[in-house]
Amino acid sequence: MSYPHLELVSHHLCPYAQRAVILLREKDIPHQNTSIDLANKPDWFRQISPLGKVPLLKVDAAVVFESVVICEYLNEITPGSLHPSNPLEKAKHRSWIEFSANILVTTA
């Protein structure tokens, strides 16, 4: 399968970026990792990141941001979904994803 050039811009300690890293590895998606210093964000990153946060996925010349959106995109461009096909079960999966995000916020 042919994929666009993918570059994940993140920080190795960012728990939200780890979502994308796990999905990229689980689905064996070829990509480049670029880690930035969050205390001293490079100018190029500030120019392409609307929120100034990681993770950010460069897809050829386009940019996708927010970890959940990045994961959904990666899941959709690859064969075999990590979500069940049943709409209710898929909604439950997404509910647990949101739940885990709230736990990260309260414990981080």
Tokens of 48: 């392409």
Q: Rounded to the nearest 5 degrees, what angle is found at the Cα of 103, between the Cα atoms of 12 and 107?
A: 65
Helix, strand, coil content of the chain in percent (nearest 5): 45, 15, 40
In this structure, what token pair is assigned to residue 40? 């001293």
Residue 105's contacts (CB-CB under 8 Å, 6 or more residues apart) are none
Mean pLDDT for the stretch of residues 51-69 = 96
Catalytic residue flag (residue 14) = yes
What are the tens digits of pLDDT across the range 1-35? 788 999 999 998 898 899 899 999 999 999 999 99
Is the pLDDT reported for residue 52 higher than 70? yes
**Mean pLDDT for all residues in the chain:** 91
Q: What is the predicted pLDDT for the residue at 104?
A: 65
What is the pLDDT, as a whole number, of residue 75? 94
Confidence band of 94 (pLDDT split at 50, 70, 90): confident
The mean per-residue pLDDT over the stretch 56-72 comes to 96
Separation of alpha carbons 104 and 88, rounded Å: 25
Catalytic-role residue among 6, 8, 9, 14: 14
Where does the pLDDT of residue 100 fall: very low under 50, low under 70, confident under 90, or very high at 90 and above?
Answer: confident
